[in-house]
């Protein structure tokens, strides 16, 4: 199967994908800030540069895109039809890197929570925020 976009169009699409300040991440940040939580962003001195860092609590939150980090939901399961082997290696590498970063953080006495893109949808957002607050208050 060939790509329906030209290589230039595909390149522009891929270049537009953000690694930080994504829509789900901004939503989580806005809601937590409105609840009075303060945090640091993308601390490069921590493994994986967590999206939100609560230094005093020694807790971090990653807000992951389901596709890029291979969540087991309908958004995380598809694999592109073109360059299939490349994508399988790339996405599996992302999962391995995530596991390694979680392990390094936990070994350094940080608590880690992952919020998935699908968990920021309006249907389940209330439950997700409750889960985050419980994580932070615990």
Q: What percent of the chain has pLDDT over 90?
A: 75
Segment 107-130, tens digit of pLDDT:
999 999 999 999 999 999 999 999
16-30, 45-59, 64-78, 121-135: least confidently modelled range: 16-30
Residue partners of 90: CB distance under 8 A and separation at least 6:
none
C-beta separation of 125 from 28 below 8 A:
no
Residue with tokens 């607050």: 133
Instruction: Please give the pLDDT value at position 115.
Output: 98
Q: How confident is the model at residue 52 (pLDDT cuts 50, 70, 90)?
A: very high
What is the pLDDT confidence band of residue 3, given thresholds at 50, 70 and 90? low
The rounded distance, in Å, linking the Cα atoms of 102 and 60 is: 10
Number of residues written out for the chain: 138
């Amino acid at each position: 199967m060939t790509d329906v976009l030209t290589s230039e169009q595909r390149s522009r699409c891929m270049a537009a994908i953000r690694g930080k300040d994504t829509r789900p991440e901004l939503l989580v940040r806005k809601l937590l800030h409105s609840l009075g939580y303060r945090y640091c962003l993308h601390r490069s001195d921590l493994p994986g540069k967590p999206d939100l860092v609560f230094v005093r609590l020694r807790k971090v939150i990653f807000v992951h895109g389901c596709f890029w980090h291979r969540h087991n939901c309908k958004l995380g399961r598809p694999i592109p039809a073109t360059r299939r082997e490349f994508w399988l290696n790339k996405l599996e590498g992302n999962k391995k890197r995530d596991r390694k970063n979680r392990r390094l953080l936990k070994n350094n006495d940080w608590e880690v929570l992952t919020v998935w893109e699908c968990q920021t949808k309006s249907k389940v957002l209330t439950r997700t925020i409750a889960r985050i607050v419980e994580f932070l208050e615990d």
